[in-house]
Structures are given as C-alpha cells and as structure tokens.
Structure 1
C-alpha cells in the first residue's frame, strides 16, 4: 500500500510526536517550520524551512502532500484560503478553524451555539471594564499560548500599569472563575463523521502553564457525561476533522464552563502515548486520512503526565535528572530543545497508575508528581 503524505504546518514537539507514530500509520510526514533546531526536523520525511504563516512555503508543502494539518494556530487563514480555493486539502478545514483562532471570536461562537462560557467582552476602551470586578482575566486575542498573553489582573491600579504593555494588541476581557478543578478533554472527528473521545482529565496550571495532568479526572459520572456531550456537539457544530482539545472549569457551585479550545493535539493528551491503546497523535493521523479509528480507552487504571518546565536560563539536556526520573519507572519524553528558560516546555513524563480505587488512584498520581518534581527541581 502506498504511503500517504501528510504535511504539518509547524515543527515543534507536537509535530515531533506525530512524526514518531506516522510510520505505524503508513504515513510520511512533511513539515513547514522556521528553524532547523525544531523538534520534528530530525524525524520528518521532508522539511520546508519557512515561517509558519508563509503561505508561499505552504504552497510548496501542498505540492508534496495530499493533506495538510496544523501543529499550532499561528497561521494566516486568508492566505491559506487562496490555496484551499485551488484544491489544497486542509484538515481541520479552514472554516472550522476560522471561529477559533481569535479568542474573542471563539467565545462568541461558543456562546452563540449554546455552550456555557464565562462572561467576556472585547476590549475597546477603559469603560469596557465597568461590567467586571477584580480580579479579572486579560487575554491577547491572537497568538497566546502556554500562559503568554494571559494575565490575571487584581486591581484597577495594576490594570493601568499593564494596559500600556499591550498597546496595539487586540484584547479580550473575561471574568475570573473561582474553580474547583480545571479539566480538559481531547477528542477527534474523522472525515467520515466518526467521533472518539478520551477520558476527561484534571489539569493543574501554574502561571497559566500546565504543570500536570491526571487521567482520568476524579469526577462524578454526570459531569463526565456533560463534558462528553459538549465535546461531541462542538465537533459537529464546527464540522471538525481532526483532534480537538477543550479546556474547562468545574466551578465551586458545580457548573461546567468551557474555557478555551485548541484545534490540534494538545498537552493535556500527551499521556495517551503510553496510557491508551491509540495516542492522540495516531488518532489525528487516522482522522484526517480516513483510516478507521483505534481504541481510545485507557489500557491501565490511569496515568499522570508531568511537564518538565524550564526553571532557569541555561543550555543543558539535564540528562542526569532525566535518568533519575526514568529509574522511577516513568516514560520520559525530551523534546531536544537546546535552550532552557523559565516556564518553557522542555519535555514531559508519564507515569502509569494501577490502583482501581479512584480516590487511591488520585493519591498515587499526586505522589508520582511529588517524586518527579523533587528530582526535576
């Protein structure tokens, strides 16, 4: 059988992990990325070195690929649409991405389609803050990730100090949610309309960057069903093809709110590489190429994923620390980045959990987090 050729816009760790599973799906992965030091370059069948939003380079990628997908959202949809009009196949479709890339437009789409979201408003003048109390959340509408472009503002004085730093940047104002838990779910919809969902997970963010993920979340069945229903409805509303991640809040009064979506494979699904029969990266390739979906159920009682975040400015591969973590029986993924800085995702660790009691499983997960982070720090 001839190998399918799939192009990926982006060459970071998400494309790198997709490239690792591509051979098992009989796929050659080609990438468009600006730097030869990006994680996926070493595994890609072909690399086109160009900025992510360079549509001329994407046209070259398209000439060598049957389908193009995305590792990140830093694309120019207007320019890509010109290629789509000429027959280039993008999954997710550009029409599916269009309401998601701008955080304000994403909020409007979710609200207009009946999904529960926090109160929000586009920032145009200082008067727009009148309907919000402090603390509040300020977000860059485009190009924010891993906490960049998201600030929790605690007072009016702090707000007046912060706003000048965003001069010329379109902003979204959101109410600050006092939550019980932060949750996430990763799911996929195929070109044939089939939908698969992974377990709902609990996530923990520090400085708006994910530190760890526990799968499955310790959550009652009604809330799990509610989240799965939201997920399926959103995939259908977007006419979506590929993997989609949804981040949610469980509020103190027991409500589920949609926080953000990511139209790609996602940090909250990295545990699937070791804990599920089919990883989110394999599922993405299956979804966009029309292959039958694999099994997304856990093959163990649970798992915890811990991000290896930079805690200093340095050039190091931290080999000794990684080996100590591996000696715990953990799976260690190192993204090959040569430069560490505070908060940068350098790798991740997965520890499989074995207790069938949900409460004990959660405690087992927290203990694993403590052990890994004690070595990493």
Structure 2
C-alpha cells in the first residue's frame, strides 16, 4: 500500500459511509469534505471538512490531511481541482479520467469516438436541421448535475418539448433518442494503479422515473451479451486510465444489442449488493485501487442476490424502525440504513440485500422485491405516487 494511511473523500453521503468497514479492514482512515455535519459519512470519518464539494479551497485543506483524494460524487469544479493537481495533489481517479465524463454531452461524444455503442444524440441548442426534432418520444437531459431522475425528461411531443425548454432557459442540454429497451443492465468495474481490471457480475437494474428501484444479481443474460459488456468496460477503463471503481449503466435492446446509457466515475448504486454478496465489496475494491493495493476477487458468495432501495415517500424525521425490523426478519436479508435525519420523496434512506440459496428466476426475484416493498411503503404510501412525474 506504500505510504497511503489517509484517504480524502470529496463527498460525505452514503457512498462514503459504506467505505467505512473497508477502510478498517485495510487499515486506512477516511477524511471527508462534505457540506453538512448531518451527512452520513461524518459519523465514520477520522476528520471532516464542512464545505460544498465544489469548494476547491476546502479541497486544498483536505489535501493537507490525507495522502490521496477520491470522489463520492462528480459535482466538482474540475478546473479549480486541476490547479491543485498541477501542484502535486494526488487524485484517484485522476482528473483526466473525469474530464470527458462530467458533461453528459461530452461523455456521449467520448464514447462515440471510442467506437462504443450509444443512443443517437445531439446537443441543444441548436436542433439539427431541419427542426423540430425528427422523432418522438425523445430523452432530454441537463448536461451537468443530474442524478436520481433529476434533470432527465421523457418528451412525448412537441408541446411538451416547448414547455420544458421554456422552463430550462439557458441550461445546456443533451437530446437522445428514446430506446425501447428490453432490460437495463449495469456493470461495476475496477482498475488498479498497475492497470489490472476486475469486473463484477453484470446485474439487471429496474428503474422507476429514472431512480434505481431494484437490482438483480447476476443478470439473466447470454454469454454473448456478457462478453459485449465486459469488452465495453475494459475499453473504457483502459482508455481513461482509470484508478478506482466506475459504474456503467447500459440498455439491452430487443434484438440483443448493448448500448451505453451513462458512466458514473465512482462507486454506484447498482453495486450495493456487493457489500453482502461478493468476496470484495465495490467499496473495498475502490479503496484498494486508490491506495495502490492489488484488486480483490469480485466473485459472488451466494448464487444470486436481490437489492432493493428504501426510498423516501413522505416528508418525515422518522427512523422507520418497525419497517426495518420486519424487513430484517426476511431470511438472508441484510438492511443497510444510512442514518439520514430527514426523509423526503425519492431520497435514498437505505437499502436491503437478500442473498438467495439458488439462482432463482426473474419471477422469484420479483416476488422477493415486492415483499420488501410492501413492508416498506405499505398501502397508499408508494414513493412513485408521491413523486412528481418526470417532466412536470
């Protein structure tokens, strides 16, 4: 591991919080830069700097307290951080790996130039000639700072497009063709300082209004599809010279082709199952990479797993202890509660992973997820009913 004893993390949410056990195992301390004393990772950090994640002055202070800096989210000021990097501060992944990805239009262009398959896309403004756009439905995305359905809109017709453009005046946008996918998939992949690559079992993700609802591991896909995805991951990580874990979201089309949806340059919600289901969690794998260690095994310890996000469905300060206890009583279930002090519709409050004793089919996995959700949301308490529709 060399001299890495302290790892700085830009961001202090649940992703940084879930690095805690891995940090203990590896004998390193975490120092976080995060806006609020109530953020989850504050409770596990050796030290914390309370500042917005885009505050590069605070990041310079963070650098004085750690040996290497990594990222829990991508909402950073890349130009300001580049000045720090030029002064010798070590970021992993390096800023050159982040540069093509933070703006979603630039990310699309980078993937296209690598020859990786993506939906058709163009920037807005302007529309390509002739206008209006040649097809509906289409997907409209803000180029920066979108997550959990924020900044993503499914547009069905020209009046909807006109209305949303009026709302988003002067906001740089990306337009993509709508893909009527057969399934959504995701890959969690890691690359070490030495260039070794480790890819976790490909998973199926189920989204509702662009928010991850469930993850089934491993995905029921053909060897050919698995091969396509692994090749995409290796190409991407090697060209970017990544050090750390990246999440890659994908569409599987009806005719068996794979398209890249989005790249997350960090640990990712679709990999939370690895905490309980894999030999090495994505969080330990990320710390191993940024500390200069060899990568651990991504193999699953159980034949299959189901992960369900516990999403807020109301404005509340409840800890939902009774629901959590009921879910924890499900055989082979493990509840991870992030300790957030406030609930609001759509906020990720925790997740639950259920390890399966056999590689059950999709229908059986659906039933397990439905059981968890019926306990969590209860009658008349669906998060999806409480959250405004995308585009509204």
**TM-score category (smaller protein):** over 0.9
Q: CA separation in 2, counterparts of 1:309 and 1:281? A: 21
- 1:19 positional shift: 2.0
- 1:3 positional shift: 6.4
Aligned with 2:372: secondary structure? helix
- Write the mapping of 1:154-233 to structure 2, written as runs, cut at 5 A: 154-233=156-235
- 1:69 positional shift: 0.2
Matched with 2:347 is 344
Matched with 1:299 is 301
- 1:364 positional shift: 2.8
Aligned with 1:222: secondary structure? helix
Matched residues, number: 374
Q: CA separation in 1, counterparts of 2:76 and 2:295? A: 28
Q: CA separation in 1, counterparts of 2:134 and 2:229? A: 27
Which of 128-137 and 58-67 deviates more? 128-137
- Write the mapping of 1:87-102 to structure 2, written as runs, cut at 5 A: 87-102=88-103
Deviations 1:118-154, CA, capped at 9 Å, x for gaps:
0000101356664441110000100000110001011
Aligned with 2:341: secondary structure? coil
- Write the mapping of 1:1-377 to structure 2, written as runs, cut at 5 A: 4-125=5-126, 130-329=132-331, 330-356=333-359, 360-377=360-377
Aligned with 1:53: secondary structure? coil
Q: CA separation in 2, counterparts of 1:339 and 1:148? A: 19
Q: Is the 8 A contact 2:4 2:68 kept in 1?
A: no
Deviations 1:38-97, CA, capped at 9 Å, x for gaps:
000000000000110000100010011110000000000110011000100000100000
Deviations 1:171-226, CA, capped at 9 Å, x for gaps:
00000000000000001000110100000000000011000000000101110011
Q: CA separation in 2, counterparts of 1:87 and 1:336? A: 36
Aligned with 2:19: secondary structure? helix
Q: Is the 8 A contact 1:353 1:364 kept in 2?
A: no
TM-score, normalisation: structure 2? 0.93
Aligned with 1:179: secondary structure? coil
Q: Structure 1 residues 328, 169: CA separation in 2 closer, same or farther (over 3 Å shift)?
A: same
Q: CA separation in 2, counterparts of 1:130 and 1:111? A: 24
Q: CA separation in 1, counterparts of 2:101 and 2:254? A: 27
Q: Is the 8 A contact 1:302 1:361 kept in 2?
A: no
Q: CA separation in 1, counterparts of 2:292 and 2:260? A: 29
- 1:20 positional shift: 2.8
Aligned Cα root-mean-square deviation (Å): 1.3
Q: CA separation in 2, counterparts of 1:234 and 1:303? A: 27
Aligned with 1:151: secondary structure? strand
Q: CA separation in 1, counterparts of 2:106 and 2:234? A: 20
Aligned with 1:56: secondary structure? helix
Aligned with 2:340: secondary structure? coil
Aligned with 2:9: secondary structure? strand
Q: CA separation in 2, counterparts of 1:105 and 1:34? A: 28
Aligned with 2:186: secondary structure? strand
Q: CA separation in 2, counterparts of 1:253 and 1:293? A: 35
Q: CA separation in 2, counterparts of 1:44 and 1:67? A: 15
Aligned with 1:369: secondary structure? helix
Matched with 2:381 is none
TM-score, normalisation: structure 1? 0.97
Q: CA separation in 1, counterparts of 2:120 and 2:278? A: 35
Q: CA separation in 2, counterparts of 1:309 and 1:159? A: 29
Q: Is the 8 A contact 2:309 2:348 kept in 1?
A: yes
